[in-house]
């Protein structure tokens, strides 16, 4: 399951990158090298692109920023496009994911400013509370390294499983020390986890995919990650060396403005939490 899903992700990402490059084409220099041109930012549709669109429509002009938002639905292409200069920045990921991505892909992406947290949550169409999970129940989890580990840590924090000592940001089901309910784990591409809810007993779903699928994390999750000392805040990122780009500095300031904080709080009602 893990290998198949990774191959599928790679194929989709390659296709998305081809589309992204064809869309950017000659804009490559203007998005990354020419700091007088528009800043093109790759983002997940929800909530990242929505937040950027709010800035574009309400704040960017006054700040002297020409902002363009390019949406991607996978977790690979935004970084590869930032690395090759097809876009000037991206906004979709957290530090553990970026560390893992840079290590595996030889990329040089760095964070600029942390903006928000999307708490990971456990959801179900079949039960109303976790003690209703039966022995042998199937739980879907994201299959990428960091998010699978994050999902397992979430389940462990609620006592559903116990992880082996030292299980870190690359933990898999093989690192489960105790599994009193004999839960079975179905590894899926993160974007597919909301669609699995009718086929599994429960699913651990990333906040952005939960929101984009119509779920309301603050109300509908069986439980969510705690926001306290959470290392998974999402940030604006660029290729190393571009941190001082004046366009990036302007966007970083706008992303952490009082106006954006209010927009996030009003629009997402606790399902997305400002980190500034």
Please tell me what DSSP assigns to residue 134: P
- Give the pLDDT confidence score for residue 167 in this predicted structure: 92
Rounded to an integer, the average pLDDT of 168-184 is: 95
Q: What is the mean pLDDT of the chain?
A: 89
pLDDT score of 148 more than 60: yes
d(CA 91, CA 59): 17
Q: pLDDT tens digits for 153-168? A: 999 999 999 999 999 8
Contacts of 17-22 spanning 24+ positions with Cβ under 8 A: 17/76, 17/77, 17/80, 17/81, 17/86, 20/70, 20/72, 20/77, 20/81, 20/86, 20/87, 21/81, 21/86
pLDDT tens digits, one per residue of 94-114? 999 999 999 999 999 999 999
Given the structure tokens 């397992």, which residue do they identify? 152
The whole-number average pLDDT for the span 203-210 is 94
Range in 32-41, 121-130, 204-213 with the lowest mean pLDDT: 32-41
140's tokens: 């879907």
| DSSP code per residue over 52-110 | HHHHHHHTHHHHT--EEEEE-SSSSHHHHHHHHTSSSEEEEE-HHHHHHHHHHHT--EE
Least confident of 5-14, 53-62, 74-83, 197-206: 5-14
Which residue shows structure tokens 């879907």?
140
Q: What mean pLDDT is predicted for residues 65-92? A: 97
Nearest to 235 by CA among 130, 106, 136, 91: 91
Q: Report the predicted TM-score, pTM, of the whole model to 2 decimal places.
A: 0.78
**pLDDT of 267 strictly over 80:** yes
Residue 1 has pLDDT above 80, yes or no: no
Per-residue pLDDT at 32: 54
Q: Is residue 23 scored above 80 in pLDDT? A: no
Instruction: Tell me what pLDDT residue 33 has.
Output: 58
* pLDDT the model gives residue 8: 36
> pLDDT band for position 3 (50/70/90)?
very low
Which letter, b or e, does each residue of 77-91 get, where b requires 16 or more Cβ atoms within 10 Å of its Cβ?
Answer: bbbbbbbbbbbbbbb
DSSP secondary-structure letter at 159?
T
């Amino acid at each position: 399951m893990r290998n198949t899903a990774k191959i599928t992700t790679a194929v989709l990402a390659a296709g998305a990158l081809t589309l992204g490059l064809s869309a950017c084409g000659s804009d490559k220099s203007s998005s990354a090298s020419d700091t007088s041109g528009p800043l093109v930012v790759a983002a997940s549709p929800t909530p990242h692109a929505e937040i950027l669109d709010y800035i574009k429509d309400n704040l960017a002009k006054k700040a002297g920023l020409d902002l363009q938002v390019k949406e991607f639905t996978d977790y690979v292409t935004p970084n590869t496009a930032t690395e090759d200069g097809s876009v000037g920045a991206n906004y979709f990921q957290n530090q553990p994911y970026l560390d893992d991505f840079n290590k595996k892909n030889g990329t040089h992406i760095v964070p600029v400013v942390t903006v928000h947290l999307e708490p990971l949550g456990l959801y179900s169409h079949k039960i109303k509370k976790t003690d209703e999970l039966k022995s042998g129940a199937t739980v879907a989890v994201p299959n990428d390294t960091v998010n699978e580990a994050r999902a397992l840590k979430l389940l462990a924090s609620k006592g559903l499983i116990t992880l082996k000592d030292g299980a870190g940001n690359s933990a898999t089901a093989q690192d489960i020390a105790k599994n009193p309910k004999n839960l079975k784990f179905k590894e899926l591409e993160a974007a597919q986890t909301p669609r699995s809810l009718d086929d599994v007993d429960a699913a651990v779903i990333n906040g952005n995919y939960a929101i984009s699928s119509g779920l309301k994390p603050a109300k509908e999750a069986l439980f969510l990650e705690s926001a306290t000392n959470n290392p998974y805040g999402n940030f604006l990122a660029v290729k190393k060396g571009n941190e001082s780009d004046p366009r990036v500095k302007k966007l970083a300031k706008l992303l952490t403005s009082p106006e954006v904080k209010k927009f996030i709080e009003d629009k997402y009602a606790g399902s997305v939490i400002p980190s500034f």
